[in-house]
Structure 1
Amino acid sequence: MARNLIIAPGEFYHIYNRGNDKRNIFSSIRDYERFLTLLYVSNGEMPVRLQRQGSTLKDVHDIDCGKKLINLCAYCLMPNHFHLLVRGLTNNGISTFMQKLTTAYTMYFDKRYERSGSLFQGRFKAIHVHNDRYLKYVIAYIHLNPIKLVDSNWKEAGIKDINKAETYLEKYRYSSYLDYTRSTRLENCIINKEALPKYFNTAKDVKDYSRDLLMVKVEP
């Protein structure tokens, strides 16, 4: 987290963290799915008890987790890191949510892979999203992260194949991009798009803005 950054309720923040020593924090489909489940059940005042609640999003998506701590507006899970766009709803909402999320996932990961020690690179990092232009940019920035998996140097050298990149985004399950471009998906329950200003009226608006960022360097 940026030094001396005060996280205030009602403000938007780009939250991210990566594996300790840049190690992978997601090694299987099961790992990704557990983290998605935890994104949902960690966002409430109730304790996380997946043994009782169920271990998949399908099991828990209609469970009442108590008063929400944050609005989660966008996310992307990558093999060795994750990105979230959040808006705190209480004084310590973001910190409490992140503590519940990372603690529960670390406990799962340690048990599954019979390991111990730090999984993440310390405390989560947070950047204040301070205006509309930057907020709109961050939504797309988070959603475009998976392009690195098929074109690792696209930001520096430019996109090689725009159609391949867009097709990959449409197939990547571990990002909220699909919740902005499709009407129905179980993972819709994780995010709250209504907490955002109305930047995109249609799925085409989302895709067009994302394409603009892929084709030309757009600054926040």
Structure 2
Amino acid sequence: MERKTIFTEGEWYHLYNRGTDKRKIFTDNNDYQRFLKLLYLANSTKPTILYTLKKDTIFDFPREENLVDIGAYCLMPNHFHLLVKEKVEGGISLFMRKLLTGYSMYFNIKNKRTGKLFEGPFKSIHVDTDNYFRYVLSYIHLNPVKLVEPEWKEKGVQNKDRVKNFLQSYSPSSHLDYLKLSEKSPRIERWILATDDLPIEIKSRDFVDELNDWLEYQTMLKLDK
């Protein structure tokens, strides 16, 4: 299916997709790790070299010009969210084609299946204001809350400590990298991100406060009903 969206260089977009028939696209830690490695490797004007995925130093692999800037990501069992900026003409389309094709091939071979893995073309929303950027950043990083409190958006957060602890331990998300922006030795997945060129200034403490505000707001909203 032909994509109608025209991406503009220098603009940010919220990209997302899920498994066909809402099936799980990540079934174990190896799946999450493969997708994270592809987020790094596919973001290059040079071809993705699949055999390098077996190396422990994958995030040190030299890339040429990046196709996109990745501002945030979160992988869920049956879908994913990305916040990216188009850096070169056609960058987002090429990046997503390399990413989703590479992961689909891996997943199908591993699980001895055929056919499409994802539910059609990826979806995209233009993030056209700073306020909307802040909202999307929080929305993406709060996605895992539904794994411990499935009805939190309908009923509010029931156990705030459990939710906060879960978010801080959820590794297939850039949430952990934003918590450690000021650290000299961040986790290796930090190199997936390009946080130096965000449209707004983000500090770890402000990031935590903003997520907590969203959780608090959602809870108070439900209590007032």
Instruction: Report the TM-score, using the length of structure 2 for normalisation.
Output: 0.91
Shift of 1:43: 0.2
State the alpha-carbon separation in 2 of the partners of residues 204 and 169 from structure 1: 15
- The reply on whether 1:105 has 2:100 as its aligned counterpart is no
| CA RMSD across the alignment | 1.6
Instruction: In structure 1, give the amino acid aligned to 2:24.
Output: N
State the alpha-carbon separation in 1 of the partners of residues 125 and 200 from structure 2: 22
State the alpha-carbon separation in 2 of the partners of residues 4 and 217 from structure 1: 34
Alignment-derived partner of residue 174 in structure 2: 176
1:24-73 deviations in Å (ceiling 9; x for gaps): 0000100000000000000001111221x2335x3311111211100000
For the residue of structure 2 that corresponds to 1:216, the secondary structure is helix
Instruction: In structure 2, give the amino acid aligned to 1:96.
Output: L
Instruction: Say if 1:144 and 1:210, in contact at 8 Å, map to a contact too.
Output: yes
Instruction: Say if 2:37 and 2:53, in contact at 8 Å, map to a contact too.
Output: no
State the alpha-carbon separation in 1 of the partners of residues 167 and 177 from structure 2: 12
- Which runs of 5 or more structure 2 residues have no equivalent in the other structure? 220-225
State the alpha-carbon separation in 2 of the partners of residues 198 and 7 from structure 1: 21
- Which runs of 5 or more structure 1 residues have no equivalent in the other structure? none
Instruction: Say if 2:15 and 2:83, in contact at 8 Å, map to a contact too.
Output: yes
Instruction: In structure 1, give the amino acid aligned to 2:54.
Output: S
Instruction: In structure 2, give the amino acid aligned to 1:216.
Output: Y
Alignment-derived partner of residue 211 in structure 1: 212
Instruction: Say if 1:34 and 1:55, in contact at 8 Å, map to a contact too.
Output: no
1:151-209 deviations in Å (ceiling 9; x for gaps): 011111111111111100000000000000023111100011112134323x2111110
Instruction: In structure 1, give the amino acid aligned to 2:188.
Output: L
For the residue of structure 1 that corresponds to 2:47, the secondary structure is coil
Shift of 1:4: 4.7
State the alpha-carbon separation in 2 of the partners of residues 193 and 151 from structure 1: 29
Instruction: Say if 2:71 and 2:194, in contact at 8 Å, map to a contact too.
Output: yes
Instruction: Say if 1:43 and 1:69, in contact at 8 Å, map to a contact too.
Output: yes
Alignment-derived partner of residue 199 in structure 2: 197
Instruction: Say if 2:74 and 2:80, in contact at 8 Å, map to a contact too.
Output: yes
State the alpha-carbon separation in 1 of the partners of residues 161 and 53 from structure 2: 38
Instruction: Say if 2:130 and 2:200, in contact at 8 Å, map to a contact too.
Output: no
State the alpha-carbon separation in 2 of the partners of residues 108 and 209 from structure 1: 37
Instruction: Say if 1:136 and 1:199, in contact at 8 Å, map to a contact too.
Output: no
Alignment-derived partner of residue 33 in structure 1: 33
1:103-139 deviations in Å (ceiling 9; x for gaps): 0000000110000001000110000001010001111
Segments ≥4 residues shifted beyond 3 Å = none
Shift of 1:7: 1.3
Instruction: Report the TM-score, using the length of structure 1 for normalisation.
Output: 0.93
Shift of 1:91: 1.2
Instruction: In structure 2, give the amino acid aligned to 1:206.
Output: F
Instruction: After TM superposition, list the pairs within 5 Å mapping 1:17-56 onto structure 2.
Output: 17-51=17-51, 53-55=52-54
Tell me which of 129, 134, 149 is aligned to 1:131: 129
Q: Give the length in aligned residue pairs.
A: 214
State the alpha-carbon separation in 2 of the partners of residues 179 and 186 from structure 1: 9
